[in-house]
């Protein structure tokens, strides 16, 4: 029931006042209705723009899917979008014409022109080429041009939508003002009627009080942040109109609040990104500190093996290092799944695209050519980064995403971090390689490549402690080349050097990797046989002595003659418990072998007993 009818039944004298109040209320209501209709039209226009944008996205997605797969199913959204877009453009054009927005009409024309160009220059040629020739590398350039056209259409439509949004905000402000005006007029009419008649006041108080109480309660709830609250229906027409407009206002506020929350979520994502960057920096710093504390390459590789899986979660990978010969690339560190790469741990540097190009090689798009070292059919995101330090390429860091659907944005972020890690790995490997080189120079004999006397003293002391603790045997061989002075006198120092190198190489080939072969001085060598009892040491010494018989040494094509060696054997703990004692005992056994005629093996147990009469013979030479 209208307020005018209710009041006229009870108080004719106030009809003029009520009529004027009703007219004002009606005007305000009509104004709000007009604003609401305009808002709905603007929202409809915004929805129309969203529909056009969605059809354009369907067109691009359908063409891209068809070009990649060749499956006609992907053309269904393309055909559907192409059929519906003319009608959508027509409806949008009518809407903009009603709005009398010349700039918006120009933008719509630009979008149509760009779309026609996209159909003509990109979509149709790509589809026809794909049907005729299959997928080709040339489609990549056209796809990039198409992407730029689609991005331009998106920008134009976004501009149109932003203009509509601004217009909508202004209309909402006007509607709010009108709503407040209506509320004021309703309250004024209520006051006038209440003062004129107790009967009218009682009646209106009962009806309007209930309606306005519900509206007031909802208003307080909305003011407190409960934007999903809505005013209840009322049997009073004017109150119902106010409630309806209030509900529209509350809905608009709720929409605005959702936008604010979305912006807050965007800030949260930015904060999360900053936190990830900080975490990456911390992991890189920890890796750097640990690598700097390493003494050898083996330690460095062990550190990388343990830390890289945590530095690159969600990625499998390898670290490969180029050998000193520069023709081999060997995997030194690997983690994660192995299905993404070939099983060979050794390859050549020219099999790596990153090493060929001298820069990071990625697989972020299906048209990118697979790395030669990837497993066939592997399509996950892939990074291969050269390890370069001080201008020298040392190897490569290769990474493969475990997630086949990983986004290009995440891959780009990982690439920036991985390149920083690769630089640090390269510097550390270069430093450790230099340190290993210097250490080898300090413990190796420059001529023969065998360990030197200093290394023998350090190693033998350590191994004797270990042998005593674990109750294991340890034997020492003192070895001398027979008649070495004759070789020097006959063939010169070059001949002697050639003989030393050949015998040293034969020793390193014959004895185990864990045995320690040292050049003790001149033509004398010492071999430490770990975990070897006396009888085994004698057998191995004799085995080597016989192996030397087959050695043929040449100097510039000239044979140097038959080679033989004399060997003395001592064993811990029976023949000595100190490094000096064991070497001295083996040396005595060696000289006994010389005295007995050379080319033989003598153990300490075969030396003449202490106090026995030994002929006074000079110390053998050679």
List residues with catalytic annotation.
523
Query: For the chain, what is the radius of gyration of the CA atoms?
Result: 46
Report the C-alpha gap between 157 and 168 in whole angstroms: 16
Q: Cβ distance 74 to 59 under 8 Å? A: no
Torsion of CA 198, 200, 203, 208, to 10 degrees: -110
Query: What tokens were used for 4?
Result: 């005018």
Going across the sheet that includes 601-603, the strands are 516-521, 524-530, 474-481, 565-572, 601-603
SS3 for 371?
Answer: coil
Q: To which H or E segment does residue 384 belong?
A: strand 382-389
Q: Cβ distance 537 to 477 under 8 Å? A: yes
Q: To which H or E segment does residue 334 belong?
A: strand 329-335
Report the C-alpha gap between 317 and 553 in whole angstroms: 47
Report the C-alpha gap between 474 and 571 in whole angstroms: 6
Report the C-alpha gap between 266 and 13 in whole angstroms: 62
Report the C-alpha gap between 314 and 419 in whole angstroms: 17
Write the burial class of residue 462 (CB in 10 Å: 0-12 exposed, 13-18 middle, 19+ buried): exposed
Report the C-alpha gap between 253 and 246 in whole angstroms: 10
């Amino acid at each position: 029931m209208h307020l005018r009818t209710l009041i006229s039944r009870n108080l004719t004298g106030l009809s003029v006042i009520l009529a004027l109040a009703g007219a004002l209320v009606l005007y305000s209501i009509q104004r709000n209705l007009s604003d609401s209709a305009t808002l709905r039209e603007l929202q409809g226009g915004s929805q129309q723009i969203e529909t056009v944008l969605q059809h354009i996205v369907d067109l691009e997605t359908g063409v891209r899917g068809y070009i990649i797969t060749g499956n006609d199913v992907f053309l269904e959204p393309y055909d559907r979008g192409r059929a519906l877009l003319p009608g959508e453009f027509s409806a949008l054009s009518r809407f903009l014409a009603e709005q009398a927005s010349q700039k918006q009409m120009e933008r719509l024309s630009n979008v149509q022109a760009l779309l026609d160009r996209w159909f003509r220059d990109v979509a149709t040629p790509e589809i026809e080429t794909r049907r005729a020739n299959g997928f080709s590398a040339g489609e990549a350039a056209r796809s990039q041009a198409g992407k730029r056209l689609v991005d331009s259409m998106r920008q134009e439509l976004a501009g149109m939508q932003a203009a509509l949004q601004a217009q909508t905000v202004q209309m909402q402000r006007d509607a709010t003002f009108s709503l407040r005006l209506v509320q004021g007029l309703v309250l004024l009419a209520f006051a006038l009627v209440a003062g004129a008649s107790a009967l009218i006041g009682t009646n209106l108080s009962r009806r309007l009080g209930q309606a306005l109480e519900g509206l007031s309660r909802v208003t307080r709830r909305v003011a407190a942040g409960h934007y999903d609250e809505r005013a209840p229906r009322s049997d009073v027409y004017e109150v119902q109109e106010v409630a309806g407009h209030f509900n529209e206002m509350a809905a608009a506020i709720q929409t605005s609040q959702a936008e604010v929350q979305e912006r807050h979520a965007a800030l949260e994502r930015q904060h999360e990104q900053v936190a990830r960057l900080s975490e990456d920096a911390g992991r890189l710093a920890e890796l750097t500190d640990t690598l700097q504390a390493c003494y050898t390459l083996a330690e460095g590789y062990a550190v990388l093996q343990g830390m890289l899986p945590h530095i690159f979660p969600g990625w499998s990978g390898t670290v490969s290092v180029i050998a000193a010969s520069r023709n081999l690339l060997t995997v030194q560190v690997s983690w994660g799944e192995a299905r993404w790469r070939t099983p060979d741990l050794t390859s050549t540097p020219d099999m790596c695209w990153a090493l060929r190009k001298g820069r990071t090689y990625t697989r972020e798009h299906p048209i990118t050519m697979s790395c030669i070292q990837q497993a066939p059919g592997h399509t996950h995101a892939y990074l291969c980064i050269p390890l370069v330090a001080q201008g020298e390429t040392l190897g490569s860091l290769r990474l493969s995403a475990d997630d086949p659907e990983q986004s290009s944005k995440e891959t780009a972020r990982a690439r920036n971090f991985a390149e920083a890690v690769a630089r640090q790995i390269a510097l550390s490997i270069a430093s450790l390689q230099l340190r290993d080189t210097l250490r080898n120079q300090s413990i190796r004999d420059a001529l023969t490549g065998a360990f030197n006397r200093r290394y023998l003293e350090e190693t033998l002391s350590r191994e004797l402690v270990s042998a005593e603790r674990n109750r294991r045997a340890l034997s020492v061989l003192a070895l001398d080349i027979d008649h070495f002075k004759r070789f020097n006198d006959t063939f010169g120092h070059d001949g002697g050097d050639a003989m030393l190198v050949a015998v040293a190489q034969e020793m390193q080939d014959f004895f185990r990797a864990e045995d320690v072969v040292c050049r003790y001085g001149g033509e004398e060598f010492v071999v430490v046989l770990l975990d070897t009892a006396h009888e085994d040491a004698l057998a191995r010494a004799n085995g080597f002595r016989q192996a030397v018989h087959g050695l043929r040494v040449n100097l510039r094509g000239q044979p140097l003659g038959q080679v033989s060696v004399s060997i003395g054997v001592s064993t811990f703990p029976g023949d000595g418990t100190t490094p000096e004692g064991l070497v001295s005992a083996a040396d005595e056994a060696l000289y006994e072998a010389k005295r007995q005629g050379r080319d033989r093996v003598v153990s300490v147990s075969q030396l003449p007993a202490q106090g026995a009469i030994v002929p006074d013979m000079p110390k053998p030479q050679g």
